[in-house]
């Protein structure tokens, strides 16, 4: 069974299709989110004041393109997401502060199996700040 699975993954990788394969569940989930905007509201205990807590915006493909977090006084943080047109993975995130100024830019590299390999964090001036490396350890049971 493992050999068959390995062979299947090898064939997909050799054809460059592994990055584009989405499960039926993922496709169904995305289809439900096409051009969707989700607003989360908070209300104080006396139910007199109501404020927007979180806003998520999805594009025509059902991918999250923006998320904004609020408190009672306004925006706390905003993130925008850019996707690779071929692999459909997030390649760049921009984090904005409460004044809507760029706070951090994240860029991603992926492994052949679609898992994240590295995350590069840049300051607003474009200078590389930190690099995060992802390590995946699978234990056989």
Tokens of 30: 């995305």
DSSP single-letter state for residue 30:
H
* CA 93 to chain CA centroid, nearest Å: 8
Q: What is the pLDDT of residue 14?
A: 37
Report yes or no on 7 lying in a domain. no
Write the CA distances from 112 to 19, 77, 84, integer angstroms: 7, 32, 15
Domain that holds residue 113: 19-133
The answer to whether the CB of 11 falls within 8 A of the CB of 3 is no
Asked, for residue 11, whether it belongs to a domain, the answer is no
pLDDT of residue 17: 40
| Residue 27 resides in a domain | yes
For 88-140, write each residue's pLDDT tens digit.
999 999 999 999 999 999 999 999 998 999 999 999 999 999 999 999 998 98
2 occurs within a structural domain: no
Whether 20 shows a pLDDT value over 60: the answer reads no
The verdict on residue 61 lying in a domain is yes
Total-model pTM: 0.75
Q: Is residue 5 part of a domain?
A: no
Domain count, the chain: 1
At residue 15, the 3 state secondary structure works out as helix
Residue at 14 is within a domain? no
Reported as a pLDDT band with limits 50, 70 and 90, residue 15 is: very low
Tell me, yes or no, whether 65 lies in a domain.
yes
**pLDDT tens figures, 24-52:** 888 788 788 888 999 999 988 887 888 99
Residue with tokens 């692999």: 87
Strands 50-58 and 37-43: antiparallel
- Across the chain, mean pLDDT equals 85
């Amino acid at each position: 069974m493992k050999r068959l699975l390995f062979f299947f993954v090898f064939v997909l990788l050799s054809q460059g299709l592994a990055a584009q394969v989405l499960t039926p569940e993922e496709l169904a989930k995305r289809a439900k989110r096409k051009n969707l905007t989700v607003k989360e509201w908070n209300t104080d205990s006396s139910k007199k004041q109501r404020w927007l807590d979180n806003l998520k915006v999805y594009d025509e493909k059902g991918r999250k393109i923006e998320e904004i977090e609020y408190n009672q006084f306004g925006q706390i943080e905003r993130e925008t997401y850019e996707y690779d047109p071929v692999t459909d993975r997030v390649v760049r995130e921009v984090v904005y502060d409460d004044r809507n100024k760029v706070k951090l830019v994240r860029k991603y590299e992926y492994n052949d199996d679609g898992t994240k390999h590295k995350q590069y964090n840049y300051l607003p001036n474009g200078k590389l700040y930190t690099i995060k490396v992802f390590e995946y350890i699978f234990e056989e049971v």
